[in-house]
Amino acid sequence: MKALVVDDSRSMRSIIAKLLVELGFEVHEAPGGEEALAVLRKLRGCDIALVDWNMPGMDGLQLLKAVRAEPKWQDLIVMMVTTESEASQVSKALEAGASEYLMKPFDKQALHEKLLLLGIDPGEQAA
C-alpha cells in the first residue's frame, strides 16, 4: 500500500514515514500542500495521505478540500495528523472530507489503531 506523508517539518515526516514503513507501507513525502498535489499526480494512485494541518502556503485543510474536489481522488483516505485539538477544528476537517483525525504526539500503536478503524490492516501488507 502507498502512503503520502504531508508535513512541513522534516523530522515529523521522517518519524511518521518510519512508522508507516514498519507497518508495511511504501511511503512518499511532501513538505506542503502544493507539493502533495504534485506527488499525488505523479503517483497515479495512493491509498492514504497523512496530512498536517498547519503548514505555510497551502495548509492541510486547503489540501483536503483540493483533494476532495478532484474526482480521481475521491477514494483517497485522508487522515489529518495535527496538534489542532479543538472540537471545532476536528469538525471542520471531518466536514471537509477527512477520513480520520490523529492527534500529535502519537505512537505506532495509536497510528495502527486509526488505520484499523479505517479498514486498513497494514499487517496484511507486511506478511
CATH, residue 63: 3.40.50.2300
Over residues 12-68, the pLDDT tens digits come to: 999 999 999 999 999 999 999 999 999 999 997 799 999 999 999 999 999 999 999
Query: Residue 28 carries which DSSP code?
Result: E
Q: How many whole angstroms separate alpha carbon 81 and alpha carbon 20?
A: 13
User: Is 124 within the bounds of a domain?
Assistant: no
Burial (Cβ within 10 Å: 0-12, 13-18, ≥19) of residue 109: exposed
Residue 123, in any domain of the structure: no
- pTM here is 0.92
Containing structural domain, residue 81: 2-117
Number of domains in the chain: 1
* 67 within domain boundaries: yes
Quick one: which H or E segment has residue 3?
strand 2-6
Residue 127 lies in a domain: no
